[in-house]
Amino acid sequence: MRKKLVVGNWKMNMTRGQASAAIESLLLLVDPNTEVEVAICPTYLTIETVSHLLRRSHFLYGAQNVFWMPSGAFTGSISATMLADAGCSFCIVGHSETRGRFGKLEVPESTLGYFSETDETINLKIKSLLYQSIRPILCVGETLAEREAGNTDSVIYDQVKGALAGIEPAEYYSGVVAYEPVWAIGTGKTCDSAEANRVCGVVRKAVAEILDADAAESVQILYGGSVKSGNAAELFSQSDIDGGLVGGASLDAEEFSKIVRSA
């Protein structure tokens, strides 16, 4: 039986002081529950602050991205070795925002080339994380144009296939995949729960075909994209949705605690 997993992705938010206040509130609001895994993925600069506050709690923590080389002349990058040294349990990879696929564009369109993640780099990142026993949270999702063209399933399959290429099935038994429709991220729009569950089923079938049936059964598949306390219970009750990757709502301790309780 797969445990529910709720992950807060703080994105580029929270100073160390704000992070401390948020975690202290969460620890008061969320009761320990061994049946639900809860994790926070803060910025690199607040990982130490978060880890210190969570050291005696049931919460886990992780990072929002990683570079695939263990060390070297890669200015501004952080390796999986460094994340392991910081005690990270998870790391998000392939988020639509690092792929340059925005539901709500908040940067000049001319700068989109800066966000140049590909299936190849995601694959390399996953392999580096697995080598350090850090659980990857692979993000997949379609744009509105791809959905309207009827290409949702093929886009999802291709993203899963590219990300998991050359990985042994047993290596990904503790891995995570998050289905985040690009058009629902930061827009306030949420995929209908039945459709979200259907696409998460597509993800599970893809993992079974690319890896094996055991991997597909053990992998936790999350839904992400404007998850709120008002829709979390319905989403989490679906057969193929094992929890949520929560963005904006994870910045509010009370709101995030309600989402966790829904799991």
Spell out the alpha helix ranges (H) of the chain.
16-29, 47-54, 80-85, 96-99, 119-131, 144-148, 152-163, 193-210, 213-218, 229-236, 253-262
pLDDT in tens, 41-96: 999 999 999 999 999 899 999 999 999 999 999 999 999 999 999 999 999 999 99
Predicted pLDDT of residue 52? 97
Q: Phi and psi (nearest 5°) for 96?
A: -55, -30
- Residue-wise pLDDT tens digits, 87-98: 999 999 999 999
pLDDT of 187-246, one tens digit each? 878 789 999 999 999 999 999 999 999 999 999 999 998 899 999 999 999 999 999 999
The 3 state secondary structure assigned to 33-98 is: CCCEEEEEECCHHHHHHHHHHHCCCCCEEEECCCECCCCCCCCCCCEHHHHHHCCCCEEEECCHHH
Tell me what the mean pLDDT of segment 143-165 comes to: 96
CATH of the domain at 159: 3.20.20.70
pLDDT at 100 over 80: yes
What confidence tier does 104 reach under pLDDT thresholds 50, 70, 90? confident
Range of the domain at 58: 4-262
pLDDT at 179: 97
What pLDDT band is residue 103 in, cutting at 50, 70 and 90? confident
**Average pLDDT score, the chain:** 95
**Burial (CB count <10 Å: 0-12, 13-18, 19+), residue 45:** exposed
Candidates 37, 117, 142, 180; catalytic one: 180
Q: Which two tokens stand for residue 2?
A: 């797969």
* Tally of domains in the chain: 1
Catalytic residue check, 58: no
Question: Is there a catalytic annotation at residue 52?
Answer: no
Q: pLDDT > 90: what percent of the chain? A: 90
- Catalytic position from the list 37, 95, 97, 255: 95
Considering only CA atoms, which of 206, 191, 197, 182 is closest in space to residue 96? 182
What pLDDT is stored for residue 96 in this prediction? 95
What's the whole-model pTM score?
A: 0.96
% pLDDT > 70, the chain: 100
The residue with tokens 């999350």 is 222
